[in-house]
């Protein structure tokens, strides 16, 4: 029993060491997942029945810095009141492309938090909007910031979850421009959950090598007889 526990401990130690040593200096990754968007700073009442999804291609240039291109679609709903005091359901469909820079704070850990920021450009479609002078379809640009966390489940797969805040350059995203509004800017938020598959990985990271700086004595011969005596001694005691 004691021998089994000793062997199990050695396997776990060796396995964790190998897992940490496999963290690459650079890599590519493909991502996909579901998104929950919601109006954040708009002229109408935000609603909760919203859906979305995304695909991403990411290039990590080092253990800490990455560049990500993400394509997503969001359907965001809100409500406004017409002149007859009747609630009107408004929805904005948004096909977006994001280019973000990511910074990882703990790249050597299996659970790695990060921050991101970048530019978003997309094509939005308004339905049942209040300000009729707006175009039904229009290009939209926004600044994006946020943060998230990645959890490494294998050398190639990660689970990710992140929060993003997107501020547009005008007040047309919700389909309503308030009278007298000057330089208004709409905003919405996203909660993303998904998976990432890494490929094209570079050399193993030196800064993530747990045994860096430790030198083993490789010239000294191994005394197998002594090891055998130790195993027999443990067996007799048990």
Name the residue ranges covered by the structural domains of the chain: 24-207
Residue that is written with structure tokens 């993303």 in the block: 192
Average pLDDT of the chain to the nearest whole number? 85
pLDDT in tens, 119-174: 999 999 999 999 989 999 999 999 999 999 999 999 899 999 999 999 999 999 99
Token pair belonging to 97: 């492309």
pTM above 0.85, yes or no: no
Q: What is the number of other CB atoms lying within 10 angstroms of the CB of residue 5?
A: 9
Task: Fold for 24-207, please state it.
Answer: Porin (2.40.160)
pLDDT in tens, 8-44: 444 344 444 444 446 888 999 999 999 999 999 999 9
């Amino acid at each position: 029993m004691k021998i089994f526990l000793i062997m199990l401990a050695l396997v776990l130690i060796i396995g964790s060491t190998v897992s940490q040593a496999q963290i690459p200096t650079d890599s590519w990754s493909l991502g996909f997942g579901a998104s929950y968007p919601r109006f954040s700073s708009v002229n109408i009442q935000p609603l909760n029945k919203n859906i979305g999804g995304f695909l991403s291609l990411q290039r990590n240039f080092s253990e800490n810095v990455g560049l990500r291109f993400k394509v997503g679609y969001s359907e965001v709903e809100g409500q406004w009141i017409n002149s007859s005091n009747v609630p009107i359901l408004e929805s904005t469909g948004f096909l977006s492309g994001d280019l973000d820079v990511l910074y990882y704070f703990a790249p050597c850990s299996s659970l790695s938090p990060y921050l991101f920021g970048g530019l978003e450009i997309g094509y939005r479609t308004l339905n049942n909007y209040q300000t009729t002078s707006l175009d039904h379809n229009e290009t939209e640009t926004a600044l994006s910031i946020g943060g998230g966390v990645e959890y490494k489940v294998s050398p190639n797969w990660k689970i990710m979850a992140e929060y993003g805040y997107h501020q547009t350059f005008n007040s047309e995203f919700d389909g309503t421009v308030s009278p007298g509004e000057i330089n208004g800017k709409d905003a919405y938020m996203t909660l993303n959950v998904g998976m990432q598959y890494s490929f094209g990985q570079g050399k193993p990271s030196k800064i993530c090598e747990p045994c860096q700086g430790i030198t083993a004595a490789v010239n000294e011969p191994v005394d197998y007889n002594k090891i055998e005596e130790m195993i027999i001694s443990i067996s007799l005691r048990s």
